[in-house]
Structure 1
Amino acid sequence: MSRPNPRHVAFDAIRAVSAEDAYANIVLPRLLAVTGLDSRDAALATELTYGTLRNLGTIEQVLEAAAGRSLDSLQADLVDALCLGAYQLLYTRVPTHAAVSTTVNLVKAAVSPRVSGLTNAVLRKVAARDLAAWLDRLSTGDRIGDLALRHAHPKWIVEEFDAVLGPDETAAALEADNVAPPVHLCAKPGRIDRDDLAGKTGGTPGRWSPYAVYLPGGDPGKFKAVATGRASVQDEGSQLVATALANVPMDGPDASWVDLCAGPGGKTALLGALAAQRGASVDAVEIAPHRAELVAKAAKGLPVTVHTGDGRDFGPRGTADRVLVDAPCSGLGALRRRPEARWRKRRSDIDDLSRLQRELLEAAIGLVRPGGTVAYVTCSPARAETAEVVTGVLKAGGVELLEAQSITRTVPDSDRDGFVQLWPQRHGTDAMFLALLRRLS
């Protein structure tokens, strides 16, 4: 029986993403389980898959220059194989002869022997220059376009980051997107202490969240605290914005909390654990039934009631004390977690989402009582999904902007004109945005 080939596994994963719109973080583990690759080969297959998908736009520009033709003129499975081979040549230490010969053999077996000669010729041309030389050759002198090329992001995403960060920091943010993030755990308050969780997992306490633990690597599901629900996998930035809502001082009752966009349930579970310590309860609203099931699982044993429905229609009005709007968004703040995501998104997605985000925030303001607090959260720094949504609501009146003191006073460089903006390159978190609002009347 032949030994499983990590490059074939990577190719199959890339094909699934390309042809079937699959998610790499779902399809690759399945392939690894089926093929039974040992740990070393599994690591190689993972690097090749994620690296190729993450750098796809830049790799395709190099390949078109090397081939002297548009990649649209080639069959799709051949393009995927060429991208896999070019990634090895440009971004890894795999020797040229190995990268070329293994890709040619892959094409013969998985695409067609008839195009193996073309594969060899194109990859030989790619190998004639290293990455730096290719980037110099393809550079146009346009600052945004060259940043997009060098850091493998669509140009429009670079523009969105640049509009918020400015030219001095945009490159660092793009570079941070290309580094695989560490695993963050959340020690659910009242269920396990953070330092105890760090000791049991071999992790280290987080810098910002009182519940965060950083893992050095490996499968977090193997730890008993995670398997039993006392801890969960959750980015530290998500922990911070959920905790910020719970930490806002308020006058009057504080027993009814609502999460209007609860799926998949990470923030809901943290809010539920905090609510349990204060004698409060959480109503979690999720429009998608399968995601509502995930919320129920994440919040099992906590004072959380899950409702399947549209957060824009949840009521009754003026009764909630604290409301979280973790709004559906473009996810530009978490591009480092899904390598293929950046190439699937379009600027038009933001236009559609911003209308929904505004409607959800308005619904939350109607739901909360006078004196109550609303947290508006997105995992995106894009202006149309963040400051513009909140500013529009503030202009309409009836609410005031609050400082998220639990974040801005402890996490440096997190204030953004009265809002909170976290960044991977500054804080090691996803690029989470938070605005805290108090209803006045």
Structure 2
Amino acid sequence: MLQFLSRPAVKLVERYLPDPYIFVLLLTFIAAVAAMLIEQRSPVEVMRYWGDGFWSLLTFSMQMLLVLVSGFMLANTPPVKKGLSRLAALAKSPGSAIILVTLVSLAASWINWGFGLVIGALFAKQLAKVVRVDYRLLIASAYSGFVIWHAGLSGSIPLTIATAGHFTEDTIGIVPTSETIFAFFNVAIVIALLIIMPLVNRAMMPFENESVYVDPALLEEKPTVVSDQPRPAERLENSPILAWVIGLFGIAWLVDHFVFRGGGLNLNVINFSFLFLAIVLHGTPRKLLDSLNEAIKGGAGIVIQFPFYAGIMAIMVQSGLAATLSEGFVSIATADSLPFWSFISAGIVNLFVPSGGGQWAVQAPVMIPAAQALGADLPRVAMAVAWGDAWTNMLQPFWALPVLAIAGLKAKDIMGFCLVQLLVTGVIISLGLTLL
């Protein structure tokens, strides 16, 4: 049945889904028109919202770019690649390759969303070297693990409300992760996805005559060329001494941060960890720089598109459109159904505001009073927003950009399969939020 559903979905998306850059331009237009029609804002007001907010996420954009780059460099180190190669050897058939890449991506994304995106794509490329499998579905399966990130250890909403001094502390206090990430309902959803998603992806495998394969030779990396008579500068570039000195200096800071100062994880610490582990494991500055040159190719979409999403977010927030959308769903909710409607509304808002932290800033002022007024389970409502944010990433091509850049594909190549993943995960998450 899933194979039957995926065939028209793949054809539909391949024909009509534009490039993610065109997608963000269309979303900008939709948000602007909606703000004028629904919120009665003037064109000048909307233009100002958009322009004033266009550069508001520069710090976050750079952090996202570094997640991609540093994660790629770490995953591209000899020890990590060797581990991926050994793991890929476990796949003996196309079906087992699909199941294996899905499990690895889900587990890695639960640990950290940035690492999950990168490691999933690189592992998929490694599998394509040893197993003849539809390359589009393989990459779509690697991306499907991203649906779990906001329920994991790097989930921005549960981590935000568990941190002292967060912007809603005066109304909800500190909500420990035992009530969100490690709550029974959330763990149950995660386990269900770990079991079901590999089987769903396996069931979507196209027939032999409809499959798209990749030549393994195209996936091989060019070796680093070392001159027989290196210049002094080249000796420095290929010297492990500099790499080890600065790399160990960074690792010493991490030990001090976690062990002696009791520091926690945030995006900057994660990027710092990835970068300095990559410096040490690559061994020489030249190998690190070669890896960087490969990694940076995947960042073009982030550089050009994230400012547009910042502008869209400004329109949604400043015009009141995001609050109106959330309030519309809340108005028909009860204490029991509020998590479900929070999940649906968050999924829609995520198409325009693809940022977990930014989305909570938009929806918290609506969802928190509604949960308190209805007597709903507040941690569950917060996690419903988190799941909604992660869920429609299967439809929102922005977060697929790093995966696509590593794989050498376009959004239309995988989004047909992602559409089926969206439908299946939507049912699982909805049931978990409302029945458990």
TM-score, scaled to structure 1: 0.22
| Rg (Cα) greater in structure | 1
Greater fraction strand: 1
**RCO higher in 1 or 2 (8 Å CA, sep ≥ 6)?**
2
TM-score, scaled to structure 2: 0.22
